[in-house]
Amino acid sequence: MRTGKSDIFGWLVRPADRRLWTVLAVVLAASALRTARAAGDGGMDNAIVVRAARSWLAGGDPYDDPHFLYFPSAVLAAAPQALLPGAVLRVLVPCAVTALLVLGWAAALRLHRVPLGSRFAALGLLGLAAGFAPFGHLVRLGNWTVTAAAALPLALLLASRGRWTAAGAVIGAAVALKPLLAPVLLLFLFAGRWRALAAAVLIPACASGAAALLLPDPAGFLTRTLPFLLHGDDGFVRLYEASPAAVLPRLGVPLSLARALGVLAAGAGVLCAYRRWRRSDPGPLRLAETGAGLMLSAFLVSRPSYDHYLLVVLPLLLAGLPYAGSVARRPWFWIALVPQLPGLGWPWLETDRRRAFRDAFTLCALAVTVARRGVAGSAVPVTAGERPAPAPSPAAPF
């Protein structure tokens, strides 16, 4: 590992001093404590799941609330929160969300072989917390998207070490809480890792099936939530969605055409992710960029699709900055993040109900940047089930 003074990455991987860690701790604590003071229920989105659990504990049906969009297993997972006082939840939830975001960043760093005590580790997380608005949004909302933000880099880290079945179990557990990481199943399919795929499918299926038997309406997710996701019209929620199918109609594009464009873009993204996987170059970028490509493709077509979903992929891509040729070294990666700078006003887009246009720009720009990386270079065929080429030594990226 080069650590010469002229090498910026050599400087970044040196240990961070105590002052930098102190600043980071203050920023993270301020974000969590601000939410604890402002939100009495631990965040609006977490409150939806907690209310569903309380309804079930009282003998009601959690799917009576159309905004409860989770599998039945999430009801049981939220039950412990439903038993806690509100004063505890308002502090516990933002702290837990922050801790999971830190865990996701740490896993992304280890995937890319970056020391956890380095300046890059501290500065990168500081940049996410203070310079990327969806980070604060996710903490304030307490949305369970944070489980996916922690699980995806952790699963890819396990896969990079050859522990594919464990990676599948991590993805399966995350899907049981919130089905956001379902597109990652395609990664196991690309790699021919059938045990990992089985674990990722069976864990949420069994957990949800068992939990559904305890609900008043075991088929509530299939009969009410799924149709709402596919065809529901929630005018308030749609104002915050960033997918083309939600944003383009607000610009006058017919809804059917907007949906078709979203599907085409998502399909192209999946093909680019597949090509990225087939180009079996050594190192962690293959796993990170394939996984990020699959998730971004899904966000282009999924309903809903919010700004904080970007935290599922952004740490993975940012942690690859030390590697030559990584997505994070491309100008459009940074241009895509400009609309997410906190406090930066945009003419005609200042209100919260119009920020979806900024989120859509970031989502589409990131998706195109990752897709272009997927088709760059020549593809090297990989036989199904074949292990990736050995990764370079930790010194190689620097």
pLDDT along the chain (398 residues), means of 10: 50 89 95 84 85 92 87 93 90 95 97 94 95 93 95 97 96 95 96 96 95 90 80 66 87 90 94 92 89 96 88 96 90 95 79 84 95 69 38 41
| pLDDT of amino acid 395 | 40
| Per-residue confidence (pLDDT) for residue 235, from 0 to 100 | 63
Q: What single-letter amino acid sits at 396?
A: A
Cβ atoms of residues 301 and 263 within 8 Å: yes
384 Cβ contact partners less than 8 Å away, ≥ 6 residues apart? 191, 192
Distance from C-alpha of 106 to C-alpha of 108, rounded to nearest angstrom: 5
pTM: 0.90
> For residue 7, what pLDDT is reported?
58
Burial of 34 (0-12, 13-18, 19+ CB in 10 A): middle
Say what the pLDDT of residue 324 is. Answer: 84
* Cα separation, 241 vs 356, whole angstroms: 6
pLDDT value of residue 69: 86
Write the DSSP symbol of residue 352: G
What gap in Å lies between CA 297 and CA 243, rounded to an integer?
10
Distance between alpha carbon 194 and the CA centroid of its chain, in Å?
Answer: 24
Q: What is the pLDDT of residue 377?
A: 52
